C-alpha cells in the first residue's frame, strides 16, 4: 500500500513511521508513506502564505483553498491511479475498525492533515474528499489523526503483523473488547494466572477468552453490544482547532 500525506508539518511523521511495526513494514516494502509539505504549492504571494484570516471575522487563521487544492491535484496526478482521498476533520465519519478494514483493502490513500481553524469550505467543494474524525476531543492539528489512521490501517495489511490472527483477536477486531492477557510469572503479588490458561486445553481456553471478552465489553462498553459503538457512525469528532 502507498499512503501520501499532505501537511504543513512533515517533520512530525517520519520519527513515528521509522519505528516499531510501521518501520519494519516500510523496510520490508509492505507499506510506502510519502509526506508532502503543503507550502510547496503556496503561490498566492511572495511569502508563500497558506492561510489567512476568515471572512466575516473570528479568531484564528483558515487554510486557503489554492495551496491545498493544487497540492492534492499534483499528488494525485503523480501516480497512474488516484488514491482514496481523506480529509482529517472533526466533521467527518468517526474512525472505527470497520473503516480501517476497508482502507486496508485500498492500493493507495491520500490524507490531508489540516491545521489552524481548518479548511476553506471550497476545498471540500472542489475535491469532494471523504472526511474522517478520530474522536470527540480537541487536538492541535490533523497530523496525529493522520498517524492514527496510518497505524490502524497498516497493521491490517497482509504480512505486517507477525501472527496473521493478531489483528482479529484485538479489541474491536470482532466488535468486542479483547479478553484479559497474562504472561510469566504465574503468580505476582498474590495474583495468579487463571488456571484454565495453564491447563493446555485449547478448547477451554477459547471458551474462557470468549466469555471474558463478552463480559468485559458488557461492563466497559455496553454501547458496542447495542450496535452504537466504534463500529457505528455516531458522534462527530473535534480534533484540532478544527482539524
Q: Which three cell numbers stand for residue 214?
A: 463478552
pLDDT digits (tens, 9 = 90+) for 12-69: 999 999 999 999 999 999 999 999 999 999 988 888 899 999 999 999 999 999 999 9
The torsion angles phi and psi of 150, rounded to 5 degrees, stand at -60, -45
Positive or negative, the Cα torsion across 78, 84, 85, 88? negative
pLDDT digits (tens, 9 = 90+) for 163-194: 655 555 555 667 899 999 999 999 999 999 99
Residue 243 has pLDDT above 80, yes or no: no
Please enumerate in sequence order all residues whose Cβ is within 8 A of that of 155, keeping only pairs 6 or more positions apart, or say none: 21, 161, 166, 167
Report residue 105's pLDDT band, with 50, 70 and 90 as the boundaries: very high
Closest CA relative to residue 84, chosen from 129, 124, 123: 129
Residue 221 has pLDDT above 70, yes or no: yes
The answer to which of 1-5, 71-75, 172-176, 195-199 has the lowest mean pLDDT is 172-176
Q: Which three cell numbers stand for residue 101?
A: 478494514
DSSP one-letter code for 236: P
Q: What residue ranges in the chain does DSSP mark as E strands?
A: 2-7, 32-37, 51-52, 62-63, 84-94, 108-113, 130-133, 187-188, 191-192
Positive or negative, the Cα torsion across 131, 134, 140, 143? negative
CA distance 194 to 191: 9
Residue with the larger pLDDT of the pair 168 and 200: 200
Report residue 227's pLDDT band, with 50, 70 and 90 as the boundaries: low
Q: Which three cell numbers stand for residue 60?
A: 484564528
pLDDT digits (tens, 9 = 90+) for 114-146: 988 899 999 999 999 999 999 998 899 999 999
Please enumerate in sequence order all residues whose Cβ is within 8 A of that of 79, keeping only pairs 6 or more positions apart, or say none: 2, 108
Predicted confidence at residue 232, as pLDDT, reads 40
The CB density around residue 28, as the number of other CB atoms within 10 Å, is 10
Amino acid at each position: 500500500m502507498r499512503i501520501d500525506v499532505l501537511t504543513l508539518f512533515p517533520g512530525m511523521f517520519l520519527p513515528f513511521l521509522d519505528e516499531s511495526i510501521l518501520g519494519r513494514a516500510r523496510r520490508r516494502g509492505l507499506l510506502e508513506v510519502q509526506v508532502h509539505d503543503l507550502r510547496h504549492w503556496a503561490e498566492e504571494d511572495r511569502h508563500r502564505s497558506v492561510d489567512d484570516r476568515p471572512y466575516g471575522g473570528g479568531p484564528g487563521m483558515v487554510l486557503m483553498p489554492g495551496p491545498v487544492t493544487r497540492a492534492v491535484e499534483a499528488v494525485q496526478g503523480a501516480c497512474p491511479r488516484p488514491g482514496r482521498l481523506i480529509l482529517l476533520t472533526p466533521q467527518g465519519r468517526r474512525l472505527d475498525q470497520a473503516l480501517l478494514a476497508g482502507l486496508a483493502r485500498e492500493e493507495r490513500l491520500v490524507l490531508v492533515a489540516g491545521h489552524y481553524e481548518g479548511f476553506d469550505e471550497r476545498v471540500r467543494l472542489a475535491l469532494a474528499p471523504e472526511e474522517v474524525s478520530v474522536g470527540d476531543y480537541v487536538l492541535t492539528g490533523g497530523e496525529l489523526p493522520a498517524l492514527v489512521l496510518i497505524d490502524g490501517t497498516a497493521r491490517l495489511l497482509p504480512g505486517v503483523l507477525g501472527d496473521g490472527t493478531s489483528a482479529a483477536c484485538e479489541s474491536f477486531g470482532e466488535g468486542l473488547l479483547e479478553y484479559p492477557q497474562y504472561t510469566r510469572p504465574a503468580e505476582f503479588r498474590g495474583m495468579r494466572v487463571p488456571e484454565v490458561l495453564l491447563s493446555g486445553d485449547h478448547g477451554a481456553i477459547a471458551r474462557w477468552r470468549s466469555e471474558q471478552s463478552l463480559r468485559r465489553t458488557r461492563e466497559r462498553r455496553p454501547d458496542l453490544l447495542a450496535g452504537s459503538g466504534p463500529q457505528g457512525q455516531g458522534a462527530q469528532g473535534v480534533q484540532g482547532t478544527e482539524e
